[in-house]
Amino acid sequence: MKIKKSKLIINMESCKQASELANSVAFNAIIIVGIIISATGFVVEIWVMLKITNRILLHQNTRILIITHQLWLILHCAARVFTYTYILVGYQKKHTDPCGYMMFPWECLMIRGPIILTSSLNVASVPAIVSERAIATFLSSKYENFGKTIAVVLIMAQTVIGIGCVLFLYGNFSLLKYGMMVYCARASNKASAKVIVVLSFQAAISFISALVLPLLFSINKRLHRNKIHVNLSHRYQIMENINSLQTLSPMVAFHALLLAVYMSAHCLYYTFNSTFPKFSLTTAIYLECVQLTPLYALTLPIAIVWTEKYVRKTVQENRRKVIELTGSEVADHYFIYELLRNENRFTVNFENIICVFFFRQFSKDLWERMLENVQFL
């Protein structure tokens, strides 16, 4: 039996399913847990972003992109808190008519649109971080000349990718085309193909990023081992690449792992959605249980705090080693490698000769005082 309500067709069987969903203790419990996790992740991410990420000893472009990654997580958690609260409040209202628990298409767009958008932006932000390190690797000799331009361009790129994914999903969405909905996160059979395409694309760029990171680390280690650098700035950039890639590895690997579980679970559902189109309470519980982005937002600060401690310890150890050297020993330690082989003949960089002479004029005490104003060595 079908009835019309506000020019939208409603199936009575769907009304019963909506009533069953609203009165399910298990589903309501999952919604409450989702609110708690998302709200906690929201608060923790803000605190870590302001207190730790903003001060972490990494390149400014890397810091900006990590903060952007956290910002998308913060907005995602806020969107989930709003969505879950909206659903929970709606379910607490008692309706004699079971169709009263169903939602209009505009409601679904309002509560699910921000979640999908922020999720897409968050996924796109990880390849942006890896891309920044790739640029720093292959353009290491002149990377500092670009300033913050690279970070701005990569933020714009990830924004375009995130918005593009949402437009691809909702490009032909009509508020009057679809009837009243039982559960907003469930896609129609026609939309399932689009969802699979978007999920596959996001999985591809994320896993490629996870594979590229160790490759970049290997390249920078080889550059450092072969003494390719031609001046102090270039040498510093290579060392910065090595340190930052080491510290970014846990975050990227953990993100790829959670994303693999999330993508697999959703692709599994949307693949068989057309085979088993009938909606059930189990389907709603399954889809809510595999929403792992709030859990990632809650656990990411652990990786960032560990990263901050690791970087600080590494820098302090490097300072300690250099402080133990005299001025002339420091000069010899570095500039002995500035004799570059060019066509089987050694050529000496004139700039380095001047620097060697300059460093040898300083005593150990003066060298230690200079180190107090240096962040990285």
Please, are residues 240 and 139 in contact by the beta-carbon 8 Å criterion?
A: no
pLDDT confidence of residue 231 = 58
Q: Secondary structure of the chain: what % helix, strand, coil (to 5)?
A: 75, 5, 20
Asked whether residue 215 falls in the same domain as residue 328, the answer is no
Q: Would you give the end-to-end CA distance of the chain in angstroms?
A: 75
**Kindly report the CA angle at 8 between 6 and 13, in degrees rounded to 5?**
120
Asked whether residue 282 falls in the same domain as residue 332, the answer is no
Q: Establish if 309 belongs to a structural domain.
A: no
Asked whether residue 32 falls in the same domain as residue 155, the answer is yes
> Helix, strand, or coil here: 245?
helix
Please, are residues 186 and 11 in contact by the beta-carbon 8 Å criterion?
A: no
Asked whether residue 228 falls in the same domain as residue 329, the answer is no
Q: Name the CA radius of gyration of the chain, rounded.
A: 27
**Amino acid residing at 220:** N
Q: Establish if 346 belongs to a structural domain.
A: yes
Q: Establish if 208 belongs to a structural domain.
A: yes
Q: Establish if 246 belongs to a structural domain.
A: yes
pLDDT confidence of residue 265 = 82
Q: Report the number of distinct structural domains present in the chain.
A: 2
pLDDT confidence of residue 98 = 73
Owning domain of residue 187: 2-293
Strand ranges (DSSP E) for the chain? Answer: 2-5, 8-11, 339-342, 345-348
Q: Establish if 71 belongs to a structural domain.
A: yes
Asked whether residue 287 falls in the same domain as residue 223, the answer is yes
Which of 276, 293, 310 corresponds to the end of one domain? Answer: 293
Tokens of 337: 């490698």
Asked whether residue 95 falls in the same domain as residue 135, the answer is yes
- pTM for this model (two decimals): 0.77
Q: Establish if 168 belongs to a structural domain.
A: yes
Asked whether residue 124 falls in the same domain as residue 233, the answer is yes
CA 269 to CA 258: how far, in whole Å? 17
Asked whether residue 357 falls in the same domain as residue 213, the answer is no
CA 83 to CA 69: how far, in whole Å? 21
Please, are residues 259 and 123 in contact by the beta-carbon 8 Å criterion?
A: yes
Q: Establish if 183 belongs to a structural domain.
A: yes
CA 281 to CA 25: how far, in whole Å? 11
Asked whether residue 168 falls in the same domain as residue 236, the answer is yes
Ranges of residues in the chain whose predicted pLDDT is under 50: 1-8, 334-377
Q: Establish if 377 belongs to a structural domain.
A: no
Please, are residues 87 and 111 in contact by the beta-carbon 8 Å criterion?
A: yes
**Kindly report the CA angle at 361 between 357 and 364, in degrees rounded to 5?**
125
Asked whether residue 170 falls in the same domain as residue 32, the answer is yes
Instruction: Tell me how far the alpha carbon of residue 107 is from its chain's centroid.
Output: 28
pLDDT confidence of residue 150 = 92
